[in-house]
């Protein structure tokens, strides 16, 4: 490879960034073009500098590593660096090259780096290291704490407790809250799985509601129900949805 590999280090911990820099300093085929302590800065740097490879922490304030990736078109090769093994499945889903669990040795770091270098010309192959972690990790669903929406250059962060209801819109969902209505390219199934079932219930194939915003439930016809939210919005309730609602309430 004639040109140096352009790298950005993204981690909110200065010590973690320094360790990564120390490991990379021994390589003459690597150029660190930026380091970022938060996801918003990282998005800007990635779009401006077009790195080949990023070392990305997952748990960061304001914007997690996964949320950040949702907002980037054509992301570079990714090596996750994290203290938590239960994100391995999701890392696999976003095609990470490797998943380094902190604290990681220089030997393990170099192994991940070599893998990234080897696959820069053939990106996003399945990764055996991540699969091995998945095999030894109980599958845990991490509930969302917020939803990030990108509209042009504007990024809106919506805490999930502010979401009133979600509607299916073909390949998108429409998220309704006091800040407005926001389209996001995700499935209803995704939100049904990743929102806390004690707060959000899928009451109809096209609707997920926040139980905190229910005004009342009323019967319209025999065995047919609808929800009325506190703002007057009426939501149809299926038989399955009614049972889910009863289980939650």
CA dist 47 → 42, 58, 79, 134, 201 (Å): 8, 19, 18, 31, 37
**Residue pLDDT, tens place only, 46-82:** 999 999 999 999 999 888 898 898 888 888 999 999 8
Instruction: State the DSSP string of 198-216.
Output: TTEEEEETTEEEEGGGEEE
Instruction: Round the CA-based radius of gyration of the chain to a whole number and report it.
Output: 21
Q: Which of 93, 87, 23 is nearest to 55 (CA)?
A: 23
**Residue pLDDT, tens place only, 21-35:** 999 999 999 999 999
DSSP state of 11: -
Spatial contact of 242 and 248, defined as CB atoms under 8 Å apart: no
The whole-model pTM stands at: 0.68
Which residue is it, tokens 């079932």? Answer: 197
Verify cis geometry, omega within 30 degrees of 0, for the bond prior to 103. yes
**Residue pLDDT, tens place only, 140-173:** 567 888 999 888 778 899 999 999 999 998 889 9
Question: Collapsing DSSP states into helix, strand and coil, what is residue 127?
Answer: coil
Beta bridge partners of 121: none
Indicate whether 124 pLDDT > 50: no
């Amino acid at each position: 490879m004639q040109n140096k590999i352009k790298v950005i280090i993204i981690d909110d911990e200065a010590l973690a960034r320094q360790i990564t820099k120390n490991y990379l300093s021994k390589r003459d085929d690597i150029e660190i073009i930026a380091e970022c302590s938060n996801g918003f800065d990282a998005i800007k740097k990635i779009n401006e500098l077009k790195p080949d490879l990023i070392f990305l922490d997952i748990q960061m304030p304001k914007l997690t590593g996964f949320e950040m990736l949702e907002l980037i078109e054509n992301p570079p090769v990714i090596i996750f660096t994290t203290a938590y093994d239960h994100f391995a499945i999701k890392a696999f889903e976003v095609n990470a090259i490797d998943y380094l669990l902190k604290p990681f040795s220089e030997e393990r770091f170099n192994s991940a780096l070599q893998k990234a270098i080897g696959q820069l010309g053939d990106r996003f192959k399945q990764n055996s290291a991540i699969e091995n972690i998945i095999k030894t990790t109980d599958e845990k669903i991490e509930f969302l704490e917020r939803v990030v929406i990108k509209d042009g250059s504007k990024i809106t962060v919506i805490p999930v407790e502010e979401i009133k209801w979600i509607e299916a819109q073909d390949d998108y969902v429409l998220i309704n809250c006091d800040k407005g209505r926001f389209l996001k390219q995700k499935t209803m199934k995704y939100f049904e799985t990743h929102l806390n079932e004690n707060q959000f219930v899928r009451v109809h194939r096209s609707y997920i509601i926040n139980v905190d915003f229910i005004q009342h439930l009323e019967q319209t016809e025999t065995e047919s129900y609808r929800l009325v939210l506190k703002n007057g919005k009426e939501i149809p309730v299926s038989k399955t949805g009614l049972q889910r609602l009863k289980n939650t309430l």
